[in-house]
Chains A and B, each alone.
Chain A
C-alpha cells in the first residue's frame, strides 16, 4: 500500500522536475525590442554580415529604432525544414526557389511570393565555376574535361547541398547541348562524371575544405562567390578560377515569411530589409562579395570580376525547380540511378 502511494507520488514528481526546462523559457525574441531573423544558406555569411550592419544603420536613421538582426546559416534544405518546423524566421534567403516553395506549400509564405519582388525575387545571382590548382596542371577548361580519366572532381552531395544541385544541373545542361546528345548520353556523361568524384561532402563549405585543406581532387565545382572567397582565404597563389564557356544562372531566392511577420508585427521591417537588397548600396554589397548584381550598370562596372558566360536558366533547360527536383534528385531520381550497382 505504501509502495503504491510513493510510486504515484514519484510519477508526479519527476515531470515536475522537467517542467521548468519544458516551459520555463519563452522565445528570446518576445522580450527584445526589435529584432529580425534572417534564415539563410551557407555561402551568404559574409554578405549578410556586411549588409546587416548597413541595414541596421539605415533603419536607425529612417525610424530611430535600433534593430538587432540575427542570422542562421546552414544547408539550404535543412534551413527550409527548420522554418517549416517552427524556427521563427522573418525572412528566408535561400539557395533555390524550390526550398522557398517548400516553405510556401506549408502555408507560411503566400504562394505568389516569387512575384512580390523584382527579378523573380532574386536580388543577386551567381553561377557555377571551376576552382583548379595553380597553373591548371590538368588543363581543365570546360565541362568535358571533367570526364577525362585521372581527373578527380570535388563536389558536394546534391542530396544535401543546394550548391551541388546547381553543379549537377549545370553539367547536365552542358551534356544536353553536345552535338547529337540524348537523354541517354547525358545520363552516361553524369555516370562518368561521378565516377571521377572521390568524396561527396554534405555541404559546399565542406567540399571547399576538402579541396583546399586536405588536398583532394584536381578541380572543385563551386559557386562563383565561393571560388573567389576560397582564393581570399586559402591564398590566391594556390588556386586559379576557370570560367567554363557555358554554365547555369543560379537565382538565390528571398522572401518574407508572412505568417511569422504578421504574428510578430515585423512586416514593415522585413519588407524594407529585402527591398534594401535592390538598392544601389545593397547591390554594391552583393557585388563586393562576388554575387552578380542585377543592376546592369554595376555589373558592367565589375566586368573583370564577372566575365561574360553563356548562362542557361532552370526554367528553360529543366522546366522549373519542381520538375528538376522530381526528375533528378528525389528518391529513385536520376542521381540515385547513376549510383545503382550493376549498370
Chain B
C-alpha cells in the first residue's frame, strides 16, 4: 500500500478524484488481457529461451565480436536516424499544420506512407534509388563520390525512412492543439518571435518530440525488411543485429537467436523507459 501511494504521482488529493471517473476495473482488465496475450506471454517465451545456454553460455554468445558490432550498428544507426529525423519531422509537421499552401493535404497523406508501404518494398525501392546507378545514388556518387547503398549510411537512410512518420504524427496533434493565444500573449508581452518560439512553442512541443524520437528510434532498432536490401550485410561493417538473429535461426540455433533478441529487447526497453521518465519530468515541469 505504501508503495502504491509513493508511486501514484500527485499524491492523495489526486487519488480521491480518481474514484470519480468509473471504468478503471474494466479498462484495466482489458488492457492486461490484451497486453498479456499478445505481448507479455510471447516475449516471456523469448526471454526464457536463451537461458538453456546457461548464464555463461549466454554471455559468451553475446560477447562475440560480431554480435557486439551488429548491436552497435543497429543501435547507433537507429539513434542517428531518429536524431536526423527530429528536425526533418518537425519541419514536415510545421509545413502540414501551420503553413497554408496547396500541396498541404497531399503532403499530409504522404507522411504516413512509410507505415503503409511493406518494408521489403521500401527496401527495394530505396536500394534502387540510392544504388550507384540510381536516381539519387548516381548524382551523389558523381558529385561527391559518396556511396550510400551497401554501406552503413544506407542502413541509416532506410531507418530514417521508417522512423520519420512517428515524429511527424506525434508532434502534429500537439502542434494543432497548441493555442495561438499563448503565442499571441507572448508577443503582446513584447517577446520577439524567436523568443516566443524558443520559450513558448518548443517547450510545449518538447514532450511530443521526445515521444516521437523514442518511437522512431524503437521502430528503427528492430527494422529488418527494408535494411537487408540496402545494407550490404558485411560482417563487422554493415550487418544489423536482426540479420544476425536470422542467421542464427538458419543454423537451428534457437537459443542463440533468442539471446540476441533478448539483448535487443532489454536495451530498447531500457531506453524507452528512460525516455518515458524524461518525458514525465518535462510534462511536470511545464504544469
Contacts and interface: CB of A to CB of B under 8 A. Distances in A.
Interface of A: 2-11, 13-15, 18, 75, 77-78, 81, 84, 102, 157, 159-160, 197-202, 206, 213-216, 329-332, 336, 339-341
Interface in B113-141: 127-128, 131-134
Contact of A157 (B23, B28, B247): B247
A336 to B, nearest CB: 7
A29 to B, nearest CB: 25
B25 A7 contact: yes
A330 B251 contact: yes
Nearest to A79: B250
A206 B124 CA distance: 10
A14 B246 contact: no
Nearest to B24: A3
Interface string B216-240: 0000000000001100111110000
B234 A200 contact: yes
Interface stretch (B8-16, B30-38, B78-86, B183-191): B30-38
A213 B124 CA distance: 11
Given A14-B33, A14-B37, A159 B247 contact: yes
Contact of B150 (A9, A14, A199, A340): A199
Nearest to B244: A159
A10 B256 contact: no
18 contacts: A7-B25, A10-B25, A10-B30, A10-B33, A13-B29, A13-B30, A14-B33, A75-B250, A84-B252, A199-B150, A199-B234, A200-B234, A214-B132, A214-B134, A214-B149, A216-B132, A331-B248, A332-B64
B26 interface: yes
- Name the 4 nearest CB pairs between A and B, nearest first: A10-B29, A14-B33, A3-B25, A7-B25
A37 B165 CA distance: 40
Which of B30, B32, B34, B127 lies at the interface centre, i.e. has the most chain A CB atoms within 10 A of its CB?
Answer: B30
Contacts of A201: 228, 233
Contacts of B236: 339, 341
Given A3-B25, A6-B26, A15 B37 contact: yes
Given A13-B33, A78-B250, A159-B250, 9 more contacts: A7-B25, A10-B26, A10-B33, A18-B37, A198-B150, A215-B133, A216-B131, A329-B251, A331-B248
Given A18-B37, A198-B150, A329-B251, A206 B25 contact: no
Interface string B187-198: 000000000000
Nearest to B29: A10
Contacts of B33: 10-11, 13-15
Contacts of A206: 229
Nearest to B34: A14
A331 B30 contact: no
Contacts of A6: 23, 25-26, 29
Contacts of B34: 14
B243 interface: yes
A13 B128 CA distance: 48
A61 B27 CA distance: 62
Contact of A4 (B25, B251, B252, B256): B25
With most chain B CB atoms within 10 A of its CB, the pick from A4, A75, A329, A331 is A331
A214 B37 contact: no
B150 A216 contact: yes
B252 A160 contact: no
A206 B120 CA distance: 12
A336 B133 contact: no
Contact of B65 (A10, A15, A341): A341
B39 to A, nearest CB: 13
B58 to A, nearest CB: 14
Residue from the set A4, A14, A78 with the largest chain B CB neighbour count within 10 Å:
A14
Contacts of A15: 33, 37
B25 A2 contact: yes
Most chain A beta carbons < 10 A, residue from B64, B131, B235, B256 = B235
Q: Most B CB atoms within 10 A — which of A8, A11, A213, A330?
A: A11
B66 interface: yes
B249 interface: yes
Nearest to A3: B25
A332 to B, nearest CB: 8
B194 to A, nearest CB: 46
